[in-house]
Amino acid sequence: MNYVIAILYQATPSPIKNGIQKPMKPGGYSDSGADIACELHSKGIKVCTPVDRPHIENDLDWVFPDTDDGIENAIRKGAKIFWLNTVLYKGHPIEKFFDRDLELVGQIPHQVDTYDDKWTTNKLLKAHGILIPKTTLITEDNSKGYDQDLTFPVVVKPIRGRGSQGVSVVRDKNELDAKLADLFSSRQYGSSLYIEQFLSGQEITITVMPPGDYYINGENKHFEAPWCLPPVKRFNHKGGIAPYNGVVAVVENSALLDEKERNSKEIKDACHQCEKAAKLLNIKAPIRIDCRAGEKGHYFLFDLNMKPNMTGPSRPHRKNQDSLSLLAARGIGWNYLDLLKNMLRQRWKVSNLLTVNETVSTPDTQVNKNNLDLP
């Protein structure tokens, strides 16, 4: 390929917004960034790195911090494609480089800022007829006066969460009051939380790919709208919640649905709802949506992740690190490299730049797929 790729990781916590801060993953996704870089590099795709001779086990040898200096350093080393393997937000440093001749793999920063707010996203989905669980917003100021007619158990969640971190099931009002007091006093998740109807049915996670051109089973395929990879079912929950993948590798508690399950009406309906949600969000890269079935078997979308984890088995010490999205990709015959190369095919370039302080509902973009040596 003619262009050199740089992988960004999150170097500092994201800004506090309306009293809420998204918790930062230890290492800032440098582990998955290094997995991506190593896989591409080992297959002859040009990747630039902060050091000249990166060590296979040192994550930070393979990725650049998502700071002004980190991005400038990558550009000096020849980077023309930036893989935004980081938490994005309005005003993210990458926006300062939107006037450069760069291509991007990832979401539009200001849209991530908007839709990382689970309360905002749930209201949008509900307004468009997409099934979501019943939810109640709780702020620190009204934590004593919330809806007294809740049906327990319920799930307590951060507004800007990350996976299952900070998520718990509570069984009665006393337990809920104690959990709220603990979370608000810790300040870890900000001054607002929300509680959600607990769904007792099967949990699945669905990776939705953006519209574009893909290479699947030896053929080029074009998708006009977002489309779903095969769903993955989750099991071995702890306290009703799927464990955080930093504690339990997803390959230990997740598996592809079999063909019969995939073809059920309930699963097909869930995929259709996820595709509808992705279209509303104008996605430019994969997203992951977690769903659970209610008592009648219908699936509700309960968590939408604008930046799904992209870990993979590209290094000897990480052979069990398939992400949920990679497990899904294997269902259409893709390996880790296939998934990454098809994500690279969807890279985009800002072509009609407004100032980063203005709201852009749908920025004009140009996609250049001709400079990547993909089949």
Alpha-carbon gap, residue 338 to 326, rounded angstroms: 10
pLDDT confidence of residue 238: 77
Q: What is the pLDDT along the chain (375 residues), one digit of tens a residue?
A: 568 999 999 999 999 887 787 888 999 999 999 999 999 999 999 999 999 999 999 999 999 999 999 999 999 999 999 999 999 999 999 999 999 989 999 999 999 999 999 899 999 999 999 999 999 888 887 766 565 678 899 999 989 877 677 888 999 989 998 999 888 888 778 788 889 999 989 999 999 999 999 999 999 999 999 999 999 999 988 777 776 655 677 888 999 999 999 999 999 999 999 999 999 999 999 999 999 999 999 999 999 999 999 999 999 999 999 999 999 999 999 999 999 999 999 999 986 334 333 333 333 333 344 334 433
> By the 8 A CB rule, do 327 and 256 touch?
yes
Which residue, among 319, 308, 295, has the nearest Cα to 38 in the 3D structure? 319
* Phi, psi (degrees; rounded to nearest 5) at 299: -90, 135
Domain 203-333 has CATH 3.40.50: no
The bridge status of strand 64-65 relative to strand 4-9 is parallel
Domain ranges of the chain: 4-109+345-366, 134-197, 203-333
Token pair recorded at residue 164? 């299952």
According to DSSP, the residues that pair with 366 across neighbouring strands are 349
State pTM to two decimals.
Answer: 0.90
The CATH superfamily label for domain 134-197 reads ATP-grasp fold, A domain (3.30.1490.20)
pLDDT confidence of residue 369: 41
Helix (H) or strand (E) holding 80: strand 79-84
